[in-house]
Amino acid sequence: MAWDRRKRVRRDCIFCTDSNIYINYKNYHMLKQFLTKRGKIKTARVTRICAKHQRKLAQEIKRARFLALLPFTIQTYR
């Protein structure tokens, strides 16, 4: 089959490659880039983050939401 012949492209996690970048709820400007316009957390396939850091990122986004640093949802008017 055709899909067997495709080479898998390895995408490196930005948090694994650069140790200076850290995931923390206080750094909400960085966390904002991992949210959609509606306030949902983007998937790891879209953001190219490994599973370990995706779990940490989700935990810190939820913590920032609880402390009102990030919105839970964005209000849309029809």
Tell me the pLDDT tens digit for each residue of 10-45: 678 999 999 898 899 999 999 999 999 888 999 999
| Those residues with Cβ within 8 angstroms of residue 48's Cβ, 6 or more apart along the chain or in another chain | 11, 12, 13, 14
Q: Model confidence at 7, in pLDDT bands (50, 70, 90)?
A: low
Instruction: Evaluate if pTM is beyond 0.85.
Output: no
**Residue 30 falls inside a structural domain:** yes
**Quick one: three-class SS letters along 8-61?**
CCCCCCHHHHCCCCCCCCCCHHHHHCCECCCCCECCHHHHCCCHHHHHHHHHHH
Number of domains present in the structure of the chain: 1
In a domain, 51, yes or no: yes
pLDDT at residue 58, rounded to an integer: 95
Q: Is residue 72 part of a domain?
A: no
- Asked if residue 17 is part of any domain, the answer here is yes
> What range does the domain containing 16 cover?
9-66
Within a domain: residue 26? yes
The three-point CA angle 43-62-77 to 5° equals 75
In a domain, 77, yes or no: no
Q: What is the CATH number of the domain that holds 26?
A: 4.10.640.10
- Position 2 in a domain: no
